[in-house]
Chains A and B, each alone.
Chain A
Amino acid sequence: MSATTALRNAVSVKDQVSEEEWALRLDLAALYRLAAKHGMTDLTYTHFSARIPGDEDVFLLNPYGLRFDQVTASSLVKIDVDGNILLDNGYGVNAAGFTIHSAVHMARHDLKVAAHTHTPAGMAISALKDGLMPLTQKSMRYYGRTAYHGFEGPALDLDERERIIADFGTDKHTMILQNHGIMVCASSVRLAWTRLYTLEKTMQAQLLAMASGAKLRVPPKEACEKVAAQWDKGDDTYRQDGWESQLRLLDRADPTWKH
């Protein structure tokens, strides 16, 4: 089953980029493959991006037209916040994806990675008045750290960036894009992955809990804030998150992400 992925570009960009950029490309390609593995895709849509180390206005975005399980380190598109493609690898980007991700990278230099999905659970939560609730200790990771942005139609208008930035604020790491989906941001790709994975699972749990009609056990606000702070503290240093293990498992199934 390995290497069955048709790679449109057989040319590696490894020799054309810095070591740091190549390492980031590997991580970001792995993030796409992990999201695919865990069923978080929407055809060729939605996007994950990562800012290039040392260059605050340049980031990597997925090659539009590829499935997440086709994305490779070399096919990621290097683009600046003004929309200029800085390394020609034969791919372009999706306009709405560019709007949302460039907004994050323009405004939040503390966050290097943004990941946005349209999963059924995420879209459902984004359509609820109460949004994301702190029902479990895992969901408290997002307590007080989640922003909401009202839907304006497909994000094809660059003006929307100002409103995304204003809604996101300076201290949140997650955004519910109302009537649309979710976005998590992080200081590293591996942290973005655990935030994305955990959010997905807690949203599924919340929907099941609410739908049951039984009374929800909502912990007190102080406890939620305490646990959220514990998550923040762990997130900066936590390295037993299974990232390397997951990369080996990706390799086992299909090592083409490293190309």
Chain B
Amino acid sequence: MSVTAMSVPTQAGVREQVSDIEWQTRVDLAALYRLVALEGMTDLAATHISARILGAEDHFLINPYGLMYEEVTASNLVKVDMNGEKVMESPFPVNPAGFTIHSAVHMARPDVQCVAHTHTAAGMAFASVETEVLPISQTAGYFYKNVGYHAWEGISTNLDERERIVRDLGMNRGLILQNHGLLVAGPTIPAAWVMIYQLERICRTQLEAMAAARAVGQDVVLMPQAVADKTAANFNQSFKNAAEGRSNFDWDAYLAKLDSTDDSYRH
């Protein structure tokens, strides 16, 4: 199926108005929205992924509110400040309340460029039981000892909840929002993609393993502590490499997947 830019709501003239680095950030963030949709991690038009514009540290890009992730493009992303107020003209609405959690993380963590938040079934399930990310697989090493837990406080409308989100995230790369969903804090957009993809799989895997083990009266098998720590250290190095610009987690491979079916995110 080929999709032309004409069938997606875009904003004319954005490419000409913005810096090269901002445009690249827009293309990459739009691609991330599309990848999250492709992997079935969306919740209709709800939830957000935000990205800081490098070189304009207090400006962020966020989705045009009310569009499905499949319609997000480089030009229809909306540029906002820390309070979710538009700093560049856009015909698309934003959701300042939804940006609150994101801005809290962006303010507290200058090392974080991209914050992604989901409400998937597995993520919500994991967030609703008394457990934590266990070292039951190599993949769990992406978040083992690197995820915080934030107690549910009701629908986030309280600005002072930001302090507690920041406290609970700490320097971790992920946050389980209890009774709510998942959040990851990536040093780059490609890193955030790998994080949200893997945290989703970690949650689902662990829930399935727990269910199967309990059904036959067993517990899940944890890897030896030294192996768990070594595995986590290995992933820590991968993210450090990404933060220092020495890895983009094969981002081109994922863009190619999008480009083969629908490259309208680039417009």
CB of A18 closer than 8 Å to a CB of B: no
Interface size classification for chain A: 35 or more
Q: Which of B66-74, B106-114, B160-168, B232-240 contacts A (4 or more CB under 8 A)?
A: B66-74
Contact of B125 among A194, A212, A244, A249 (CB under 8 A): A212
* CB-CB under 8 A for A214 and B129, given A201-B121, A209-B207: yes
Which residues of A have CB within 8 Å of B253?
Answer: none
Which residues of A have CB within 8 Å of B128?
Answer: 135-136, 205-206, 209, 216-217
Query: In the assembly, what is the distance between CA of A212 and CA of B178, in Å?
Result: 16
A212–B207 CB distance below 8 A: yes
A227–B45 CB distance below 8 A: no
Query: In the assembly, what is the distance between CA of A52 and CA of B9, in Å?
Result: 32
CB of B43 closer than 8 Å to a CB of A: yes
Give the residue name and chain of the A residue nearest to B4 (CB).
A252
CB of B34 closer than 8 Å to a CB of A: no
CB of B265 closer than 8 Å to a CB of A: no
Which residues of B have CB within 8 Å of A128?
Answer: none
Annotate B117-137 by CB proximity to A: 1 below 8 A, 0 otherwise: 001111011111111000000
Interface of A is mostly: helix
Which residues of B have CB within 8 Å of A211?
Answer: 207, 211
CB of B88 closer than 8 Å to a CB of A: no
Give the residue name and chain of the A residue nearest to B1 (CB).
A1
Query: In the assembly, what is the distance between CA of A36 and CA of B178, in Å?
Result: 31
CB of B210 closer than 8 Å to a CB of A: yes
Which residues of B have CB within 8 Å of A242?
Answer: 44-45, 66-68
CB of A215 closer than 8 Å to a CB of B: yes
CB of A137 closer than 8 Å to a CB of B: yes
CB of B7 closer than 8 Å to a CB of A: yes
State the Cβ distance, A8 to closest chain B Cβ, in Å: 25
B131–A214 CB distance below 8 A: yes
Contact of B179 among A207, A219, A239, A245 (CB under 8 A): A219
A230–B155 CB distance below 8 A: yes
State the Cβ distance, A3 to closest chain B Cβ, in Å: 13
CB of B154 closer than 8 Å to a CB of A: yes
Contact of A205 among B122, B131, B178 (CB under 8 A): B122
CB of A226 closer than 8 Å to a CB of B: yes
Query: In the assembly, what is the distance between CA of A242 and CA of B3, in Å?
Result: 19
Which residues of A have CB within 8 Å of B95?
Answer: 240
Give the residue name and chain of the A residue nearest to B67 (CB).
A245
A137–B121 CB distance below 8 A: no
CB of A248 closer than 8 Å to a CB of B: yes
Annotate B1-35 by CB proximity to A: 1 below 8 A, 0 otherwise: 10100011100000000000000000000000000
Contact of B129 among A138, A204, A216 (CB under 8 A): A216
CB of A241 closer than 8 Å to a CB of B: yes
* CB-CB under 8 A for A212 and B44, given A201-B124, A230-B155: no
Within 8 A of B (CB), among A205-254: 205-209, 211-217, 219, 223, 226-227, 230, 239-242, 244-246, 248-249, 251-253
Which residues of A have CB within 8 Å of B44?
Answer: 194, 197, 241-242, 246
Which residues of A have CB within 8 Å of B67?
Answer: 242, 245
State the Cβ distance, B260 to closest chain A Cβ, in Å: 15
* CB-CB under 8 A for A252 and B214, given A136-B128, A136-B179, A216-B129: no
CB of A256 closer than 8 Å to a CB of B: no
B131–A244 CB distance below 8 A: no
Query: In the assembly, what is the distance between CA of A194 and CA of B43, in Å?
Result: 10
Query: In the assembly, what is the distance between CA of A214 and CA of B131, in Å?
Result: 7
A213–B152 CB distance below 8 A: no
State the Cβ distance, A105 to closest chain B Cβ, in Å: 26
A213–B210 CB distance below 8 A: yes
B180–A136 CB distance below 8 A: yes
11 of the cross-chain contacts (CB-CB < 8 Å) are A137-B154, A204-B125, A205-B128, A209-B128, A214-B131, A215-B129, A240-B66, A240-B93, A242-B67, A249-B71, A252-B7
| Given A136-B179, A197-B44, A208-B122, 14 further pairs, Cβ under 8 A | A135-B124, A135-B128, A136-B119, A136-B127, A201-B124, A202-B124, A204-B121, A205-B124, A206-B125, A217-B179, A230-B155, A245-B71, A249-B68, A249-B70
Residues of B within 8 A of A (CB): 1, 3, 7-9, 43-45, 65-68, 70-71, 93, 95, 119-122, 124-131, 152, 154-155, 178-181, 204, 206-208, 210-211, 214
